[in-house]
Structure 1
Amino acid sequence: MEFADVVRRRRMVRDYDADRPVPPQVRERLLEHAVRAPSAGFSQGWAFLVLESPEERDRFWAATTAGGTPDSWLTRMRRAPLLIIPLSHRAAYLERYAEPDKGWGDRDEARWPVPYWDVDTGMAALLMLLTAVDEGLGACFFGVPADRVDAFRAAFGVPEDHRPVGCVSVGYPGGEDRRSPSLRRGRRPLEEVVHRGRW
């Protein structure tokens, strides 16, 4: 598929065909492309938790949701046969920039105008979303609720120094996939968001 077509077709898919697993070679391509994302100082401060078995996925949903009867969004999302949780690792950046060629030996976070460990991990997630489209699959990026992060960590043994920046669900689109009502807002025109030369 042409790159422009991949970008145009990229959307968040919120329902999956539970009976069609993601082929292993496609799963590996998603991960291989993710690690091609840019990272400040080539720090590569990311990790990816891959959940494929029904037991792993059920444990994820149990840890990250409040329980009770699932709403229609959760019912459809739970059908995804593959979940990949991108995790950022701040210490990898602070350590990398303390090396002689960077010289920030104090490891002071104030030097960072934004948390590049999260930004770069988010770019890795975007590459997975685009790869899914190129492979004829659907994918969705969504957040892990802040009040459920500790439960998520406990459920999967995730160390404290790795932060989930979200989750990427992947699979073949299901029959109930619907466009988000948010799309009714329309895409903002370039004239509203692009400032040339000055604000």
Structure 2
Amino acid sequence: MEFAEVVRRRHMVRRYAPDPVDPDVLDRMLAHAVRAPSAGFSQGWAFLRLETPADVHRFWTATTLDPDASNDWLDGMRTAPALIVPMSNKDVYLDRYSERDKGWTDRDESRWPVPFWHMDAAMASLLILLTAVDEGLGACFFGVPPESVQPFRREFGVPADWMPVGAITVGHPEPGGVPGSPVRRARAPLSEIVHHGQWS
């Protein structure tokens, strides 16, 4: 598939067919993810790969406050046969930029205008989403609620210095899935969001 077509077709899929995801495809998604840019080549990211029904169930149990909760979004997302949880580690970046070739001598977080540790993990996540489209699959990036982070860490043995930036469901899209916001909201035209030379 041509790259422009991959970008055009990318959308969030919220309901999946029961077919499993080929492990080789998940391998390619993660191999592409680590080709994302990384400040100072810090590579302060990690990915939890969940592809068995038991592990996927553990994720939903750990991150859903009410295990009996049911709504269109949650019921659809729970049909995904695979999940990837991208995580970032701030300390990796602070350590990297205190090394000699970066010129800083301490780990002062105030030098960072934005948290690049999260940004790099987010860019890696986009490569996972695009690879899913290229492989004929669907995917959806969504947030892990703050109150669910600790239960998630406990369930999967994730160290405290690793923060999930979100989670990605992966699977074969089921026709007629749960519609997302683009069904209700128009895409903003470039003329409203791109400013040439000066904001005006």
Q: TM-score range by the shorter chain?
A: over 0.9
Q: Which runs of 4+ in 1 moved over 4 A?
A: none
Give the C-alpha shift of residue 76 in structure 1: 1.1
Percent same amino acid among aligned pairs?
61
Residues 32-65 of structure 1 deviation map (CA, whole Å, 9 limit, x = unaligned):
0000000100101100000111111111001111
Structure 1 equivalent of residue 99 of structure 2: 99
1:160 partner amino acid: A
3-state SS in 2 of match to 1:186: coil
1:35 partner amino acid: V
Structure 1 runs not aligned, ≥5 long: none
3-state SS in 2 of match to 1:62: helix
Give the C-alpha shift of residue 178 in structure 1: 3.2
Structure 2 equivalent of residue 169 of structure 1: 169
Give the C-alpha shift of residue 75 in structure 1: 1.1
Q: How does 1:115-130 map to 2 (within 5 A)?
A: 115-130=115-130
Structure 2 runs not aligned, ≥5 long: none
TM-score, reference length from structure 2: 0.96
Residues 1:182 and 1:4: Cα distance change in structure 2 (over 3 Å): closer
Structure 2 equivalent of residue 38 of structure 1: 37
- Equivalent-residue separation in structure 1 for 2:136 and 2:158 (angstroms): 31
Structure 2 equivalent of residue 84 of structure 1: 84
Q: How does 1:6-25 map to 2 (within 5 A)?
A: 6-18=6-18, 20-25=19-24
Q: How does 1:151-166 map to 2 (within 5 A)?
A: 151-166=151-166
The alignment covers a number of residue pairs equal to 198
Give the C-alpha shift of residue 181 in structure 1: 4.0
User: How large is the RMSD of aligned CA atoms in angstroms?
Assistant: 1.0
Residues 76-95 of structure 1 deviation map (CA, whole Å, 9 limit, x = unaligned):
11111110000001111111
TM-score, reference length from structure 1: 0.97
Q: How does 1:50-65 map to 2 (within 5 A)?
A: 50-65=49-64
- Equivalent-residue separation in structure 1 for 2:113 and 2:154 (angstroms): 31
Structure 1 equivalent of residue 145 of structure 2: 145
Kept in 2, the 8 Å contact 1:76–1:176? The answer is no
Matched, 1:132 2:132: yes
Structure 1 equivalent of residue 114 of structure 2: 114
- Equivalent-residue separation in structure 2 for 1:185 and 1:16 (angstroms): 23
1:53 partner amino acid: T
